[in-house]
A and B are shown apart, each in its own frame.
Chain A
Amino acid sequence: MSRMLSIAVASIALSSAAHAQGDCAAGKTLTDGKFTVATGNPAYYPWVLDDAPEKGEGFEAAVAFAVAEEMGFDASDVVWVRSSFDEAIQPGAKSFDVNIQQYSITPERDQVVDFSAPYYTAPMAVLVGANATGTEATLEALKGLQWGAVGSTTAVPKLAGVIQPDSDPLLYGDNADVNAAIIANQIDAALFDLPTALYLSAVVVEGSKVIGQFPADPDDNPDQFGMLLEEGNPLKTCIDAALASLSESGKLAAIEAKWLQDTTGVPLIR
């Protein structure tokens, strides 16, 4: 229903005159005066709530509207379309100005498409098994847990340096083995980046919960999410400028706090 509504809104908006907008994006969008944003089909919590990006609820939906506003588009000028994840990272012409669905910026992808500056740096988060969901999000409480991690990741030095658990952590070869150890109750908790942790707790590890997140730390060599654009799209400079000014003004951090800490119930670890 909301989808039909948005299409209706979009078509009405199309017929009206182009709204005032910043100089930067003028003439660079797919449809003049409109900002076409693609997201996943379906789009997932907590990135987009209820699969309804046009409501602007959920982290990525909110970021898209904020960027649009920063570039001078009205909320009604933002047109949402859908694309599959893989189809968007193929080379070629695109049906969107930007695509926002947790694209990690990688050098390989960057060769065939363009990425905006990162709008999100995935922080480390704590996933606990069913027996430890009552643990508080404090360093003190985390020390007492039996920890596990993937041996080849930066989670290991993070554990040793920041959490300093009372008992030696168990280390594994990959995420699947860590999950198996949580399910077998051999470990209480493990460190993942927040998006992975949210996915694991929702889909893979039954009864588990993400109880806290650390502030994003560039030393963790984290995943960074960028908006995806067609290779060579001139709009990239406008998007980057908008993101820079959003992060400077603290708006981006506020959006992140609202949708990825408050909404998901994953507080910052003290």
Chain B
Amino acid sequence: MPGPSTAGMTRRERYEAQQKRRSALIAATSTVTVVAALYFLVPLAPGWAKVQQSFFNGEVLIKTFPKLLDAFRINVMIFAWSAPAIAVLGLLIALARDAKSPALFPLRIFGAAFTDVFRGVPVILTVYLIGFGIPGLGLPRPWNSPYIWGSLALILTYSAYVAEIFRSGIDSVHHSQRAAALSLGLSERQVMRDVVLPQAIRNVVPSQMNMLIALQKDVSLLSFIGPVEIFRQAGVFKSLLANFTPYVGAAIIFLVVTIPATRYADHLMARQMRERR
């Protein structure tokens, strides 16, 4: 079917366009088939009516969604103050592990111990131990707030991961660059600050995006020590209404935030790959 746009195309171009249309058609057909199969077959399962009633209940969703959204503000708040702290602490730990001077050896040991401990302990344990343990020492209010100490637990755990990523970024800058900068008369500090770090940080931005996404979800672990964020709020609704739909509602809110973030991280990663080639 030669339309106006095909005019002036070579035979090869026409062939390629045809192939492209063909594969698009196949992809569309197969997708529609799969979706239709899911849409028509899943409801045939004997338990579907019950599952739909307790997991995908529109009435419950409408009733609980505004409150869930409200509770999600607490997640955003905790995320907003934890993320910068994690970036700073993670970078400091990475630098500590990279310290070259023999006098700073204790710093390297500290950095290594820090990453070992906080990467090795499940986040929820750290949240419990710090969230209840430190306030239990007898701090006065408001300094014993679960928001403060729970956030600290997240910050410690995540900076351990983030530090390792920064370190891999620092290692990815070739040694010859350091040597060259040193030979130009820059000090060790200047080399790190002006030559290595700018490249290192740029190299690890996509990986750090993934950490941000993970952090965004792990903020919910603070619900174990008191804050009524979205996961706890959904749990309260679940108990009150004996219905799991609020959890699905919470999942939707999470997805609305994380899917664009994940796509953006993928995009950054792809761009980086192109630049490296």
Interface centre among A172, A184, A185 (most CB of B within 10 A): A184
Residues in A neighbouring B141, C-beta threshold 8 A: 185
B132/A181 in contact, CB under 8 A: yes
Residues in A neighbouring B232, C-beta threshold 8 A: 151, 171
Size category, A interface? 20 to 34
A180/B146 in contact, CB under 8 A: no
Name which residue of chain A comes closest to B146, CB basis. A186
Interface residues of B in 224-263 (CB under 8 A from A): 224-228, 232, 235-236, 238-240
Q: Tell me whether B223 is interfacial, beta carbon within 8 Å.
A: yes
A173/B224 in contact, CB under 8 A: yes
Residues in B neighbouring A183, C-beta threshold 8 A: 136
Per-residue interface assignment for chain B, residues 115 to 141, with 1 indicating a CB less than 8 Å from any chain A CB and 0 otherwise: 000000000000000001001101111
Q: How far is the CA of A172 from the CA of B136 in the complex (A)?
A: 16
Q: Tell me whether A243 is interfacial, beta carbon within 8 Å.
A: no
In the assembled complex, how far is the CB of residue A132 from the closest CB belonging to chain B, in whole angstroms?
12
A151/B239 in contact, CB under 8 A: yes
Residues in A neighbouring B238, C-beta threshold 8 A: 152
Interface residues of A in 166-214 (CB under 8 A from B): 168-173, 177, 180-181, 183-187
Q: How far is the CA of A168 from the CA of B236 in the complex (A)?
A: 14
Q: Tell me whether B54 is interfacial, beta carbon within 8 Å.
A: no
Q: Tell me whether A250 is interfacial, beta carbon within 8 Å.
A: no
B240/A181 in contact, CB under 8 A: no
In the assembled complex, how far is the CB of residue B241 from the closest CB belonging to chain A, in whole angstroms?
11
Q: How far is the CA of A253 from the CA of B248 in the complex (A)?
A: 45
Q: Tell me whether A153 is interfacial, beta carbon within 8 Å.
A: yes
Per-residue interface assignment for chain A, residues 135 to 159, with 1 indicating a CB less than 8 Å from any chain B CB and 0 otherwise: 0000000000000100111001100
Q: For B144, give its contact among A152, A168, A185 (CB under 8 Å).
A: A185
A177/B223 in contact, CB under 8 A: no
Beyond A148-B226, A172-B226, whether A181 also contacts B146 by CB under 8 A is yes
Name which residue of chain A comes closest to B132, CB basis. A180
Beyond A156-B240, A180-B136, whether A170 also contacts B146 by CB under 8 A is yes
Name which residue of chain A comes closest to B227, CB basis. A170
In the assembled complex, how far is the CB of residue B253 from the closest CB belonging to chain A, in whole angstroms?
18
Residues in B neighbouring A187, C-beta threshold 8 A: 226
In the assembled complex, how far is the CB of residue A155 from the closest CB belonging to chain B, in whole angstroms?
10
B239/A156 in contact, CB under 8 A: yes
Q: Tell me whether B272 is interfacial, beta carbon within 8 Å.
A: no
Q: Tell me whether B145 is interfacial, beta carbon within 8 Å.
A: yes
Q: How far is the CA of A185 from the CA of B227 in the complex (A)?
A: 15
B228/A169 in contact, CB under 8 A: yes
A153/B239 in contact, CB under 8 A: yes
In the assembled complex, how far is the CB of residue A187 from the closest CB belonging to chain B, in whole angstroms?
7
A170/B144 in contact, CB under 8 A: no
Name which residue of chain A comes closest to B136, CB basis. A184
Residues in A neighbouring B136, C-beta threshold 8 A: 180, 183-184
Name which residue of chain B comes closest to A174, CB basis. B224
Q: How far is the CA of A34 from the CA of B144 in the complex (A)?
A: 59
Q: How far is the CA of A180 from the CA of B239 in the complex (A)?
A: 22
Q: How far is the CA of A187 from the CA of B132 in the complex (A)?
A: 12
B144/A184 in contact, CB under 8 A: yes
Name which residue of chain A comes closest to B235, CB basis. A151
A185/B135 in contact, CB under 8 A: yes
Residues in B neighbouring A168, C-beta threshold 8 A: 228
Beyond A151-B232, A156-B240, A180-B132, whether A186 also contacts B226 by CB under 8 A is yes
A-B contact list, 5 entries, CB within 8 Å? A151-B235, A151-B239, A156-B239, A170-B226, A172-B224
Q: Assuming A171-B223, A177-B225, A187-B226, what are 9 further A-B pairs, CB within 8 angstroms?
A: A156-B236, A157-B240, A171-B226, A171-B228, A184-B132, A184-B144, A185-B138, A185-B140, A186-B144
Residues in B lying within 8 Å of A, measured CB to CB: 132, 135-136, 138-141, 144-146, 223-228, 232, 235-236, 238-240
Residues in A lying within 8 Å of B, measured CB to CB: 148, 151-153, 156-157, 168-173, 177, 180-181, 183-187
